[in-house]
Structure formats: C-alpha cells, structure tokens
Structure 1
Amino acid sequence: MDGRSEFHIPNSGSKRGGWITFPFIAGAFVGLTLASGGWQANLIVYLIQEFNVKSINAAQISNIVNGCINLFPVVGAIIADSFLGSFFVASISACISLLGIILLALTATLDSLRPQKCEHGSSFSFCTPPSKIQYTVLYTGLALACIGVGGTRFTLATMGANQYDKPKDQGIFFNWYFFAFYTASAISNTVIVYIEDNVSWRLGLGLSAITNFIGLAFLLLGNRFYTHDEPQGSPFTGLVQVIVATIRKRKVKLSSKIEDYYYGKDGSVTEIVTTPQKSFRFLNRAAFKTEGDVHESDGSIAKPWRICTIQQVEALKTLMRIFPLWSSSIFLGTPIGIQASLTVLQALLMDRHIGPHFQIPAGSILVLVLISTSISLTVIDRLLCPMWQKLTRSSPTPLQRIGVGHVLNILGMAVSALMEWKRLQVAQTHNLQDRPGFVVPMSALWLFPQLALVGIGEAFHFPGQVALYYQEFPKSLKTTSTAMISLIIAISFYLSTALIDLVRRVTGWLPDNLNGGRVDNVYWALVVVGVLNFGYYLLCSCMYKYQNVEKGEDDAIGEDAIGGS
C-alpha cells in the first residue's frame, strides 16, 4: 500500500493514528471474532448434549443470544459516542467477554456445573435437568459473553476508521475489516467447533478464551499509537428534543419566513443549506423561534427542550421517511434467524459424514452461508455490477440490491421447505417419527443449497442496506446508520424466537423430535410471510424518494419549501 511512507512510531510529539495502528486493531478483531464464534456457533449443540436442554428450547435460547449480541452494539455505540469513547468501550467489553467465556469453559470443565448426561436415544423426561446453580453459571456466562461481543464488534470498526484521515484509507480499512470478519468467523465455525465436537468441549471453549485474551492484548498494546475519539454526545438526545419541542409548541402557528426558524448559533439566511421541508411540516414547530428561546446576545439556545435547529428537525424527518423501508428489513432477517436455528437441529438428525472418518459438526453447517456470501460479494463487485452498468449506464441502486435479496431469501425458504419434506419422507420410511435422537439416513449435504441461496441473498441486501442508510442518514447520524443494521438483526432474532414459540403453541409442527414434526410447514409459512413482506417493500421503495442525491427545485429556499399550517 502507498501508505507505507506514512508509517512511523509516534513519540511524545508525533501524530497518532495511521496504518501503524492496523496490526493491533486487526489482531484484536480477529482474536475476538475467533473467540465469539467458538462458543456462539455451537451453542445449540452444547445446550442439548451437555445441559440436556430440549432441542427447540435450545434453538430459542440461541436466538435470544444472537438477538442480544446484535442489540448491544447499539448500546455500545451510544455509550462510546456520549461518554467513554470507542477505545475504552472496546477494552472494557473485551474484558467482559473474556470473563463470560471463562465461565462457559468452567461449565465444560467441572462436572458439578453441568447435569449428568442423558443416554443416547432416551426420552428427555428421564434426563436430569440442570440445577439452579448450574443454570445461573451458564446464563451468567452467556450474558457476559453477549455483552462483550456486542460492545466490541462495531465499536472496533468505528475506532479503526477513526485512525485515518483520508476516505480512501478508510475504505481500504473497511475492506480488510470485513475480510477479517468472514475469515475469522469461518475458522472459528469450523476448526474450533470441530474440536468441541470431536475432542472436548473443555479444549474448544478454552481455545475461545485464549483467543479472546490474545485479542484483548493486541488492543491494549496498540494504545500508545491510537487516535482517541472524544465523546460528542448522543445524537438521539437531539431527536428527542425535537419531539419534546414540537409537543410544547403544538399550538404555535407556523410562519412562511425562513428568518423565523433557528439554524444554529452562527446560522444566517445566506449560509443556510438545510431548509424546512413541507413533509412532516408539523415538526417545523420545534425550530420556530418564540420569545425567550434564544439568547439575544450571542444567538445561542436558552431553552434546549423548547427550540432546536432545522438540521435536527430534518434529521428526525429523515428517520421517519426511511422507517418503512427499515421495518421491511426486519421481516427479511426473521426467516434467516429461524432457518439458522432449525438447520442446526436438522443437521443433528442427518448423516453428516464425508467419507468413513470425517463428520461435519452440526454447528459448522452454517459456515456455508459465510462462504457463499464472501464468494458472492466478489462476483457481484467484479462481474455483475460492471455488467449492469454497461447495460443500463448506471450502477444498481441500494433499493434494487435489497429487492434482489428479498427474492433470493424467499427462494431459500422454499428450498428449505422442499428439503425438509424430503427428509421427513425418509424418516417415515424408516419409522423414526417416535424415536428421538435417531439419525435419518440422508446426507446433510442436502442442506447446502438452501444455505447457499440465503448467503447469496445476504451479499445483495446486506451491502444494499449499509449503502442506503449511510447515504440517506444525515451527517450527524452517520455512525448510527451502521448500527441500524445491527438493530435490525437483533429485532429479527427476537421476533424469530416469538414466532417459533407461537408455532409451538398453536400447531404441532415443532415437537422435540423433529422427525415427527412438520418443519417443512414452518418454512412454507415463512415463504408466505416473505412474499407479503416483499410486496410491502416494493410499495415502500416505490414511494421513497432519495434525499442525498442531486435535487432540483426541491432545495429552493422560499415560502413553498416551508409551508404553513
């Protein structure tokens, strides 16, 4: 890279940041990703085999854990922006993660921290359930590990990007960041999971703790080279202020004069870039100046919960405009969460041997999604996008990419239903409906097509969502825009947990012995939900108008842009 000439070891008077920080941040992220994948990918199997948890309950716990892991990054981003900064949040989170994994490793090491194993093929009613102390240690370890992973995953990305001044260098960093994420995830989901399944859980979880410690060491060793971001305050505070100010001024009549609105301490009509728009114009009241709102001496805000800038108002409007599109992505992620947990349960009841001596760990089956996504990202970037640009003379828009992801996700659920129908036919042929734990003589490789389709779909809709939110969110919310993806994934996993619980209560499709269930009907239901959600997405995307692109007369400053009520 050309940036080598900029490499230097800073001293007391030298500039911090730059590419000298990359080995430390990359080493930290790879170590922490290896650690999290080592326990997260195989959690369902661990709960079933070592804690005698029923299969569907184990899937539910896994969904909740995945939801927490993707919810905590939002909390971590807010804390980093508002109080501590990225480095301290990442460091503290890595320590918490290490404590959690150590507790999980202890449950695999000490016999007193887990129940006695069930005999193969026995009914769960004759298995010894975990005691309260065993559940307490297990759930405490999971909670700490979730908090730790959530606090480091996106915070390290922000911290890494902050080390570079040039957008080109930031782009190179993000490319390597995602490459490191997929590579480390694939290694942990295969190598560490294989060790857990075929050697011992103690060694596998012990390796997770060791890699977590190595990642933490890399992070701390690079401290003297980092550029530390200063907490700027949470942007959500400004959004809440807009709502409060609008309510407090709900009886105020709006003016058509732009001078009557507040643009900041040094704002003037000649410097105005953002003007009050007609859409959601009732929110313009939050920026309407009334007596006592602003100090006459310097133009600063006197009552922050009664007056806001137009920029804050337009930021909230942007969120309101994009919310329908954002909500459609929740029901795009929910089927993926359900499929992930059910696929592991299906793999446990299928022949996972490749040759006479090697057996694919059930927890590793999902690594195909990572592999297909990685390959598809390269094909899309190097082949499909250039072809599309030659044919249409324009690049595919974020909304078009997301739309393709919707279609591929629906196809993935349909293939999942067909594969499960075939698996159940084989199970019925061998009379395995009432024999829990017995493996159906059908290769687990039949699960690969559905996982590959979902992975290809993620290669379309995941970058599409990142591009859409980053492009459309106002400047003050650029960091929050990437966290919105994490929030979608978190809600999707929580919703998948609720839907599985609903299906269990209403139908008989998901018994503890899946050989006697109808998981194929669950997938067909997801196909129906996916089609309806795709129709909702098409409606939202057709009505949506890009905000941060070249605009015509909409940006004109005048009475028509403001409107009155």
Structure 2
Amino acid sequence: MGKEEGLSPGDGEAQLSSAPSDGKQRGGWITFPFITASVAGLTLASGGWMFNFIVFMIGEYNVKSVDAAQMWNVVNGCTAMFPILGAIVADSFLGSYSTVFISSIFSLLGIILLVLCTTIGSLRPPTCDPNGPNSCITPSSLQLSILYLALTLATIGVGGTRFTLGSMGADQFDQPKHQWTFFNWYMFTTYTTTVISTTAITYVEDNVSWGWGFGICVAANVIGFVVFVAGSRFYRLVKPKGSPFTGLARVVVAAVRKRNVVSSNKSEDSYHRADDGGVNVVATTPTGTFKFLNQAALKTEGDVKPDGSIAKQWKLCTLQQVEDLKTLIRLSPLWSTGILLSTPIAVQMSLSTLQAITMDRHLGSHFKIPAGSILVFISVSTCLTLVFVDRFLYPMWRKIIGRFPPPLQRIGIGHALCALSMAVSAIVESKRIKKAHNIGANSVVPMSALWLVPQLSLAGIGEAFHFPGNTALFYQEFPAALKSTATAMVAMMIALAFYLSTAVVGVVRRDTQWLPDNINEGRMDKVYWVCFGLGGINFVYFLVCAWFYKYQGLAEEADDNKA
C-alpha cells in the first residue's frame, strides 16, 4: 500500500476519494463487516449506560422517579441531536471517517469517567437509608458536575458516530438497491446490539455492579473503534466540500437582493458553474415551484467575472444550489410529522420503565427482570420485523404490486402502529392502576411486567417501518451535498421529540395530578390517551403531506432496480 493510502484523523478525506491515485477501487461489500462491527461495538457501548439511566439515577444519585425520567428524556434528546452537528462537521470539514474516529474517542472517555463515578465512593452520594436520620442525601455540586461531564463526553461520542457511520456505509455503494439493503442491515445491527445492552449489560449493572456493567461498555467501545480503524484501507471516502448550509443561506440572500429583477425561465439566463469550476449539469432549467428563489441564480450585469466565476458570492448562486434549497423546503412538512410521531414514543419509553419498577418482574422463583430491560421488547420486535419485511413482506409485495413499497408507504404503516401502541398502553395502565389502588400506593402491584410487552412490541414493529423508511427517504431525496446531514435529520427529528416529550410531561405534572412522584397514586393512563390523540392527529397530517409530495425520481429508481 502506497504512502498516499495512509489514513489519519483530519486528512483521510483530503487525500482519498472513491478512485485513489493508486488505481485501487474502494468501497463495496468488503467494507460491510468493518462498518457493521463498528456499529455493533459502539451501539453496545452507548446502550449499556443509556437504557438503564433512569434506574442508575434513582439508585445511585437518589433522584426522584419522574425527575429521573425527565433527565433520561433530555439525555436521549442530546444523543439524538448531536448527530446533526456531527453530520455538519463530516459534510463540511472533517469528512465521515475523521468524525467517527474522533467521536469514538470522546465516547470512550465519557464511559471511562462513568466507571469512575460508580467505583469511587466520593463521586456519588451515599445510598438512601429509609431508617436513618437522613433517608436520601442529594448529590453535591461537584458530584453532579463530574457526572454531567461524563454524560456530555459520552453523548458527543454517540452523536458523532451513530448516524455518521450510517451515511458513511451508504457511501460505499453506488446502486440505490444496495444502499437500501445496507440501511436495513444497519438498523438490524443497531437494534440487535441494543437488545444485548438492555438485557445482558443491564443485568450485570443491577445484579453484579455498575462498575462491571460500565466496564463492559468500555470494552465494547474499544473493540468497535479498533475494527473501524482496521477497515480504513477499504473505505471509499467522500471529500468534504465546505459547509453546504452557507450555499443555501446565499440562495435566500441573493433572492431577496434580486427580488425586483425581471425573472426568466431560460437556462442560459441562470448560472450553472459549480464551485470547483466545472459545469453543474444536474439542474439545467429552473423549476416552477418556489419561483421567488430562482432569482438567486439569475445572472445580471457584474455578477460574473471574465473567467466565469462568481464576482459577488452573496448576490449570485448556482441553479443547483437553488434547487437544493427547494428540495429541503418540500421535505420539511414530512420531516415535521416525524417529530410528532416520535414524541408519544419518547413519553412511552420513559414511563414504561417507571411502570416496570412498580410491577412484578419475576420470571420463576430465581430470576427478576431488571426494570431498565423492559425496553428490550421494542428492540426485539424491531429486529424480528426488519428480517420479516426484508426477506418476506417486501419481496411478496413486489411480486403482487410490481414494485417495492416506497418510503412514504412504509412510514405511514409505522404511524398507524405507533398510535395503536399508545391505546394499548392506556388500557394496560388502567388495569395496573386499579390493582394499585386496591393494595395501597407503596406496594408492588401484583401484576406481571410482561403486560407491558404488547404495547412495546407494537411500538417496535412500527419503528421497523417508519425509522428505515425515513432514513431511506431523506438519504435518497436530499441533495448530494447533504447526504450525511440527510440521515442525521432523522436523529434531529428524534431529538426534538424527546425534548418535546419532556415539555409535555412537565405540563402534565404542573397542570394535573396524573404524574405524582408515586405513580401508583396518579393517572398515567390519561397521559397515554393524550399521546394516542396526538398520534392520531399527526397521522392525518402525515397523510396530507404524503399526498402532495412528489418524489424526485430516486425512490422510483430504487424500486425499479431492486432485484
């Protein structure tokens, strides 16, 4: 291997592309085991500390139950929001490889600090003693500062790796059908390792020690990082071309500055030259939608230098930049439906853990399900559904209909199933509350925690449709310059949903008595019915948005090329 093939953080993308100077072709299925193993290791590491976070805060830091659930929502929102920042960095400056490399180190440092928080007694408050003079001592400012630093580092690590690895994996393939297959297996790997982390690692944390549990997360992080680096010689790396958002902002500014210029639909009146001096041939004629933005690419006197380059960057843009912004505007209503779809799910995930804590979690006489592991049924049902739809449902659909179901149909199925899971949650919670009222508020409800399985399974099945559907839709419909950002937009959608769920729970706690600190004295079933109503209204909104949306051609091409 020649010297120019060597990779190091920060210069990998600057040196390599899909056609390196040594003539070796990179990318393709040879990269699949490296990227998939990296996804598995890093997801196992993050899931090990994240999914048992509520129990960790209640048991180790003496935080009240609903407050711990709210903190969990915020942490999940951050782990989903940071990927959009990681994608911007990958697209604009470092490239995907370097972003994953650096973020993996951040993740490792954060989890190591969590290990220290659980093994050094002075870094956390003493365990609650119901019979002592001070039943529960709140953590000190120093203890919380160290904990928040650990969470920040670990969260940044998740943000820079989770979806950046997904878009980097898709970049290894040229055909949309291969990209779709990769996304399905990417999601399958993510959920499979999540199952392991929410069962095996959570069990170690609850029954052995938090130090050992977080130590396993450290080992998984190291393995994922090493495997990722080991595959460096095979990756196809896309060069970052500067921030694409700057170009989009220039479109708006230029369109406003030229609002009084006489418009023209002629191709020769628009500017086509790309930033690298080549001719941009993707968009040749201005489209009729959002005509006001076409002004940004309209050439006027003094806009172009004698050599053909732009004289004033904030007065003229390429026609392709204009069309890219239009694409984002057309997709924004569909993207917003994903926020309202994920909000009830976020509420359900945090409250289900609190329900499990109050219920009978015994399987037989010797084994007790950790409360944090109850969410595993979402991941299990998602994994099984992904295999079913990829190997049976979608191929059968193609034989009957003549094509695979497009992304919007998959997302729509997910909407309906997730709304249904909220109704099941409300019914089950009504049954749990009745039993709680009959035995006393502070007792364990004589009702198996397995009653929570149907609602979580429905949510998982729905997620197997809408999550890969949204990821594929945005990746294929977003402009080429925003591919990494496209997949991270799904993460941002989920992040906003977790933040919104925190606000919803906060309003409910402030204005009602439905969510007291002791949930056996509340009416959580009414919270679920509110979530069902939100999901139903949002489903109708999605159907309207999907009806008016027109694919840009890539989705149909993927369907036609599917083997």
TM-score w.r.t. structure 2 length? 0.89
The equivalent of 1:183 in structure 2 is: 192
Deviations, residues 27-50 of structure 1 (Å, cap 9, x unaligned):
333221111111001001000011
Distance 1:294 1:463 in 2: 43
Q: What is the identity, as a one-letter code, of the residue corresponding to 2:166?
A: A
1:74 and 1:483 in contact (8 A); partners too = yes
Alignment equivalent of 1:65, drawn from 72, 75, 83: 75
Distance 2:420 2:142 in 1: 44
The equivalent of 1:245 in structure 2 is: 254
How far apart are 1:165 and its partner, in Å? Answer: 6.0
- Residue 272 to residue 54, structure 1, CA distance change in 2 (3 Å): closer
Gaps of 5+ in 1: 1-10, 552-565
The equivalent of 1:447 in structure 2 is: 452
The equivalent of 2:37 in structure 1 is: 27
2:90 and 2:484 in contact (8 A); partners too = no
Q: Describe the SS at the equivalent of 1:365.
A: helix
2:96 and 2:168 in contact (8 A); partners too = yes
2:509 and 2:515 in contact (8 A); partners too = yes
2:184 and 2:468 in contact (8 A); partners too = no
Q: What is the identity, as a one-letter code, of the residue corresponding to 2:44?
A: L
The equivalent of 2:62 in structure 1 is: 52
2:359 and 2:449 in contact (8 A); partners too = yes
Note if 1:111 corresponds to 2:121: yes
The equivalent of 1:229 in structure 2 is: 238
The equivalent of 1:348 in structure 2 is: 357
Distance 1:258 1:164 in 2: 32
Aligned counterparts, 1:424-435, within 5 A: 424-432=433-441, 435=442
1:508 and 1:518 in contact (8 A); partners too = yes
Deviations, residues 251-291 of structure 1 (Å, cap 9, x unaligned):
2231343322112257889x674421221101111111111
Q: Describe the SS at the equivalent of 2:196.
A: helix
How far apart are 1:221 and its partner, in Å? Answer: 3.8
Distance 1:344 1:121 in 2: 26
Which range moves more in the overlay, 208-217 or 454-463?
Answer: 208-217
Aligned counterparts, 1:384-403, within 5 A: 384-403=393-412
How far apart are 1:182 and its partner, in Å? Answer: 2.0
Deviations, residues 518-563 of structure 1 (Å, cap 9, x unaligned):
1101000111111111121122222223332699xxxxxxxxxxxx
Deviations, residues 177-235 of structure 1 (Å, cap 9, x unaligned):
33322222111111000000111111111111122122223333444554443222222
Distance 1:457 1:272 in 2: 36
Distance 2:553 2:264 in 1: 26
Aligned counterparts, 1:210-289, within 5 A: 210-264=219-273, 273-289=283-299
How far apart are 1:98 and its partner, in Å? Answer: 1.0
Distance 2:330 2:59 in 1: 47
Distance 1:406 1:41 in 2: 24
Q: What is the identity, as a one-letter code, of the residue corresponding to 2:42?
A: L
- Residue 167 to residue 411, structure 1, CA distance change in 2 (3 Å): closer
Distance 2:393 2:355 in 1: 34
Note if 1:532 corresponds to 2:532: no
How far apart are 1:308 and its partner, in Å? Answer: 0.8
1:368 and 1:455 in contact (8 A); partners too = yes
The equivalent of 1:492 in structure 2 is: 497
Alignment equivalent of 1:300, drawn from 288, 292, 309: 309
1:16 and 1:226 in contact (8 A); partners too = no
1:471 and 1:548 in contact (8 A); partners too = no
Distance 1:440 1:145 in 2: 35
The equivalent of 2:482 in structure 1 is: 477
The equivalent of 1:150 in structure 2 is: 159
Deviations, residues 144-180 of structure 1 (Å, cap 9, x unaligned):
1000111111222333444556667656654543332
Please tell me the root mean square deviation across aligned C-alpha atoms, in Å: 2.6
Note if 1:509 corresponds to 2:518: no
Q: How many residues align?
A: 534
Alignment equivalent of 2:320, drawn from 279, 286, 311: 311
Aligned counterparts, 1:93-172, within 5 A: 93-119=103-129, 126-163=135-172
Gaps of 5+ in 2: 1-19, 557-563
Q: What is the identity, as a one-letter code, of the residue corresponding to 1:399?
A: L
Distance 2:271 2:183 in 1: 37
- Residue 344 to residue 25, structure 1, CA distance change in 2 (3 Å): same
Distance 2:188 2:555 in 1: 33
Distance 1:88 1:81 in 2: 11
How far apart are 1:335 and its partner, in Å? Answer: 0.5
TM-score w.r.t. structure 1 length? 0.89
Q: Describe the SS at the equivalent of 2:447.
A: strand
Q: Describe the SS at the equivalent of 2:446.
A: strand
2:91 and 2:482 in contact (8 A); partners too = no
2:408 and 2:546 in contact (8 A); partners too = yes
Distance 1:484 1:301 in 2: 31
2:294 and 2:319 in contact (8 A); partners too = yes
Percent of aligned pairs sharing the same letter:
57
Alignment equivalent of 2:388, drawn from 357, 371, 379: 379
1:85 and 1:229 in contact (8 A); partners too = yes
